[in-house]
Copies of this chain bind each other. A is one copy, B any other.
Amino acid sequence: MARQASELFEEFKELTASEFFRRNKQMLGFSGKIRSLTMVFHELITNSLDATEEAGILPEITIDLKRVDKDHYILKHRDNGPGIPEDFITKVFCTMFAGSKFRNIQSRGQQGIGCSGCVLLSQMTTGKPAKIVSGYKENGELKGVEMTFKMDVKKNQGLILEKRPVEVESTGVHIELHFKDVSYSLSEQGAYEYIRRTMIANPHAKITFRDPTGHKYILDRATEEIPPLPKEVLPHPRGVTADDLIFMAKHTDRRRFRSLLTTSLSRMSNKKVDEVEEITGIDLNKRPKDMKWEEAEKIVETFSSMDFMAPPTSGLIPIGKNQVEKGMREILNPEFAAANTRKPTTYRGGVSFIIEAGISYGGESGRIVGDQKRAEIMRFANRVPLTFDQGSCAITEALKSIDWKRYGIRDLDNAPITVFVNIVSTNVPYLSTGKQSIAPEPEILHEVRQATMKIARSLQKYIRAKKAAKEEELRSKIFETYVPVILKEAAILAGKDVPEYDHILSKVTRRPKIVGENNVE
């Protein structure tokens, strides 16, 4: 029986973003008990690190995870950041797609889902509200507010249950969330490993973590240097589409399209604008609203044929090769460590990025699997560990495409090495809302390979030298063991005294004289 359209559309409705993600929480990365808890840690730590750095404060985070029952935990997360003003608390924690990181800037969080996702998960698994104490400065004055709230899932906004001013000693956020159906684990995907890896990439942070057994880990900072703040970067002419120009034109208050270009794009001088005008024949003095799509297309096409300076890279703050090496040595205690930070480059024509790589060998490098150690890959984006979806990540793809045999690693499944890769960008091309793997842009794959192969060569030299030294030692040992015996017996046969030989022996073995029984002294 053919049904009419009008009947079918009776059930038509619109969901809010929060309703949508409530039905599809796996898209936030909350799939599975271990992964869900690790993702919560990820979102809250990320938020705290970003907030403290933006405010120019050395980050100090305190995390307390208490196990109430099987799969039931209370998480208390505290930071020393600038805090959240009272009016914004529910926006940060109860509204999907809200945030301040939609500018073109290198930041850990990028989508405005994170913190709200944690509150949603807490609520869905326990029904309990979230509790927060926020200390913040307003007009130089220190204020404090304590709030208990829930997310109104239907409306994608907060529902304040209780609110009162409180005395606080300093600025910062202290949030308390209950969770069920999550699991704390010491495995590679677990929350503890996440903290450990965060420390390698953020040596200026201090994290105190009390785990469910009551054990307190103090991961102290290795440097007092706050990394410089990444600057907002204007989009590069090579990185904009016609749609971007029309969108900018629609929402600008600039009077002329020409000044929209010079103020909204990097490397765009009035001289360059003249050049564009000459090539396209379009009058760029006109009002932005009068710019037509076909004209915007022509302009973008012209951009791609013109020469521009590379995008400014002051916006990008890598960890730095010394810091990476320092971090690896601190946490992994290796025999060998080397790191490499590449020069900035771009993908898709105009988005800047930098790749950093590090390799450590021996010590606590690698991950124990059964009775051997396999190579461990640690991936980071803007200093944030990417724990999951390793298989689909561009970094993994690039690393696996390297011919490790050439560098002395016969089999990655049996090699005591840790490979560290960090990508830094204003716009990290994640593959999905879970933000755990990176899209295989060709330039990114290339840079990861180059960065890693360079330090792999250093590793190869080290392994060779180590092997040669071993052989040298073996050879020396043979001499030291047998020469004295031979001389002694020869001397007996010749009826002579055993001659002095230490100095000759040590010349041959290149080892110092051994003062001992054979030394004629």
| Residues 1-52 (chain A) with a chain B CB within 8 angstroms | 1-6, 8-9, 11-17, 19-20, 23-24, 26-27, 31, 51
B88:A127 contact, CB within 8 angstroms: no
CB-CB nearest in chain B for A143: B5
In the bound assembly, the distance between CA atoms of A111 and B17 in angstroms comes to 11
A100:B13 contact, CB within 8 angstroms: yes
A6:B57 contact, CB within 8 angstroms: no
B136:A84 contact, CB within 8 angstroms: no
CB-CB nearest in chain B for A101: B11
A14:B95 contact, CB within 8 angstroms: yes
In the bound assembly, the distance between CA atoms of A241 and B24 in angstroms comes to 14
Residue A171 interfacial (CB < 8 Å): yes
Q: What is the copy number of this chain in the assembly? A: 2
Report the interface size for chain A: residues with CB under 8 A from the other chain: 76
Choose, from A59-67, A260-268, A427-435, A450-458, the stretch at the interface.
Answer: A427-435
In the bound assembly, the distance between CA atoms of A326 and B253 in angstroms comes to 62
In the bound assembly, the distance between CA atoms of A439 and B103 in angstroms comes to 33
A88:B9 contact, CB within 8 angstroms: yes
Within 8 Å CB of A363, what residues of B?
A: none
A127:B4 contact, CB within 8 angstroms: no
In the bound assembly, the distance between CA atoms of A83 and B57 in angstroms comes to 59
In the bound assembly, the distance between CA atoms of A3 and B171 in angstroms comes to 11
Residue A499 interfacial (CB < 8 Å): no
Within 8 Å CB of A8, what residues of B?
A: 51, 54-55, 82, 100
Contact with B along A83-127 (1 / 0, CB 8 A): 111001001000101111011000000011000000000011111
Residue A296 interfacial (CB < 8 Å): yes
Within 8 Å CB of A31, what residues of B?
A: 431, 439
Residue A243 interfacial (CB < 8 Å): yes
In the bound assembly, the distance between CA atoms of A270 and B431 in angstroms comes to 48
Q: A3-B56, A15-B102 are in contact. Are A97 and B432 (CB under 8 A)?
A: no
A136:B14 contact, CB within 8 angstroms: no
A82:B5 contact, CB within 8 angstroms: yes
B15:A171 contact, CB within 8 angstroms: no
Q: A83-B5, A127-B243, A392-B392 are in contact. Are A98 and B55 (CB under 8 A)?
A: no
In the bound assembly, the distance between CA atoms of A88 and B95 in angstroms comes to 27
Residue A473 interfacial (CB < 8 Å): no
| Residues 362-379 (chain A) with a chain B CB within 8 angstroms | none
Residue A242 interfacial (CB < 8 Å): yes
Within 8 Å CB of A100, what residues of B?
A: 8-9, 11-13
A98:B12 contact, CB within 8 angstroms: yes
Residue A347 interfacial (CB < 8 Å): no
